[in-house]
Each structure stands twice: as structure tokens, then as C-alpha cells.
Amino acid sequence: MNKIVLSLVVAGVLAVSANAFNLGKYGEMKFEKANQNVYIMHGPPVNPSVENQGFMNNPAIIESKHGLIMIDPGGNYNVGQKILAEVEKVSKKPIIAIIDTHKHGDHWFAGKSMAEKYPDVKIYALQKMIDVSKAGEAQKWYDILERLSKNLKGTKEFRFPDIAIKNGDVLNIDGETFYIHSPVRAHTDTDVLIVHAQSKTLFLGDNLMKSRLGGFDESSSIIGNIKLLEEIKSAPELNLYVPGHGPSGKRDEAIDPFLHYMKTVVAGAKEAYSEDLEAYEIKPKVASQLKEYHNWDEFSPQLGKHLQKALLEIEQLED
Ligand SMILES: [Zn+2]
């Protein structure tokens, strides 16, 4: 091969890799066909960091006849630009709608990138998600994500959802049907779960996680989250279950690990309550019952907080 051809090949290879969404040790992020016309980019299931650029959720796109419907576009404007470039490798159709599963910014801040390119995009969320985000939750998450990832500076103008949806709604978007379920209180009090009817895919937002443990904030209920997952398990089985963080899968392989984790935490908290122990006193015993979770991201710090939260919920039930 002569030198000129060789240098063109090298330049070509470099151009391709420069065009990829590369996250260092986490590899290349791309959308993969998950189920019929559903494509998912599974982010690394770890805490936001400089290395992952604050990208760690699972943006999804559903291809309709004339456009794309997106669920949870991603964690900030800058990764949103990269996610958008990856969307275009799947389809050049416009993004016509976005559904945000809940108030936490690591799921929805990137919608600003999509809305900049497609100003007519309709962004859906629960009314309460819109209200609390505008009332300070978005700013709180901006500060958390900027501190951890250093990748949000100068992007503070939020693109809030503008169409309120509620429990029981059926959305028909360009021929695709979405059933909306909103539990009163589970991962937060602003959650929507979304069934894409045609592909029988359930998007659970952070009511399901795998390989990573996240926070249960003051608006959440661990007991409510358990009840929700048990209801889902007793409903007719769908084809695919998509967590907010971690790999998607069939019903039991996707749901059982997180459900078992939460049930073990609540059982530990009940024991602490009946024996008048503090959460930290029961933690070593509960940790020993959860050996298969020790390699989940944030296991030890989150277990302590989750036990405290579960204990609080049990105390409130008993009062
Ligand atoms: Zn969340």
C-alpha cells in the first residue's frame, strides 16, 4: 500500500473513532436494538464521575413512522450532544417526543440538546415532576452532577418538560402507543413507568436498578418500591424490562435482584426496630446476607442509608 493511501486509511479510522461516544474504561456508548423498534444505550451503571462525564443512565429511542420518541435522554447537555450523534447513527428521523421518567437530573437534563436541534419536540412528564423541578429540584441536581462530573458548567438553562401526563394516560404518538403508570410513592413521588405497547417493553425508570445502588431520597418509599415491583411481577409478562441504570432483561432476571435487595433491607430494618437497634448496628448482619451485591456500585454507603430510610418508614407505619 502506498504512503498516501495508507495515510488516508489512518485518517479515516481516526475520523471514525473521533466520531464515537467514548467513555474511557467504560468503552463506546451506542444505541443497540433491544426489542423490535426499540433501541437502548445502556450507560455505565456507576455513580456520575469525571470519567463517565456524568453519563450513567439508559436513554432509549422508539422509532415510529415519521420520527423518534425518546425516553430519559441523559444526564447533561454535553453528553446530550454525543447521545444525539449516536441517535443519528440509528435513524435520521427527527426526535418528536421525549418522556422523562422522574425528577432526577441524571435522566433528563440532556433533553436540552435534543430540544435545541428539534425545537418542536414535545416533552412529557408528571405534573409534579415539572413543578418540583422548577421549584428547585433541577438546580439541586445541577449542583450534584456538576460537583461529581464537572461537565455541566454554562448549561444551567433547563429544558423543562412542558406536557403533563398522569397515571392511566394512554399516549398515541405517531402510531406508537404508550401506557403511563404512576405509583404514588416509590423511587420518588414523581415517577412514571411506561409500557410501549407494540413491543411490550416496560421502562421502569429508577424503580429498577441493576449492578448499581442509587439513593432513596425524602420523596421516596422503599416499601412502595417493593410493592410496585411485586405488582409488576404478578401482571402479565412483557417482552423486555428496562431499568433506569444497569442492563435490561426478561422479567425475573431484570427485577428479582433489586427486589430481593430491598426486601432484605426492609427485613433488616424490621429486626432493628423490634430489637431497638440503630441502622448502623444491624448493617453488618444485613451486609452478610447480601454478599452477591458487594460488587454493585455504591453498595456499602447506600446500604447504610437505605437501612436508615427503611427504619424511618417502619417507624412511621407503627406510629
Ligand atoms: Zn432517580
Please name each of the domains of the chain with its CATH number: 21-318 (3.60.15.10)
Residue 7 Cα, ligand 1 centroid: separation in angstroms?
47
Q: Residue 201 is which amino acid?
A: T
Q: Do 157 and 112 contact (CB within 8 A), yes or no?
A: yes
Binning pLDDT at 50, 70 and 90, where does residue 9 land? low
pLDDT surpassing 90 at residue 6:
no
Strands 163-165 and 122-126 come out as parallel
Binning pLDDT at 50, 70 and 90, where does residue 18 land? low
**Cα radius of gyration (the chain):** 20
Residue 225 Cα, ligand 1 centroid: separation in angstroms?
12
Q: For a pLDDT cut of 90, what percent of the chain falls above it?
A: 92
pLDDT digits (tens, 9 = 90+) for 114-154: 999 999 999 999 999 999 999 999 999 999 999 999 999 88
Residue 104 Cα, ligand 1 centroid: separation in angstroms?
5
What is the distance between the alpha carbons of residues 157 and 147, in angstroms, rounded to a whole number?
17
Phi then psi dihedrals of residue 34, to 5 deg = -105, -35
List CB-based neighbours of ion ligand 1 within 5 Å: 104, 206
- Average pLDDT on 232-256 reads 98
pLDDT digits (tens, 9 = 90+) for 151-182: 998 888 999 999 999 999 999 999 999 999 99
Residue 298 Cα, ligand 1 centroid: separation in angstroms?
14
pLDDT at 156: 86
pLDDT digits (tens, 9 = 90+) for 301-317: 999 999 999 999 999 99
Q: Which residues contact 81 (CB under 8 A, 6 or more apart)?
A: 113
Residue 206 Cα, ligand 1 centroid: separation in angstroms?
5
Residue 245 Cα, ligand 1 centroid: separation in angstroms?
9
Q: Do 170 and 92 contact (CB within 8 A), yes or no?
A: no
Residue 191 Cα, ligand 1 centroid: separation in angstroms?
9
Q: Residue 142 is which amino acid?
A: Y
pLDDT digits (tens, 9 = 90+) for 70-98: 999 999 999 999 999 999 999 999 999 99
pLDDT surpassing 60 at residue 14:
no
pLDDT surpassing 90 at residue 110:
yes
Residue 25 Cα, ligand 1 centroid: separation in angstroms?
24
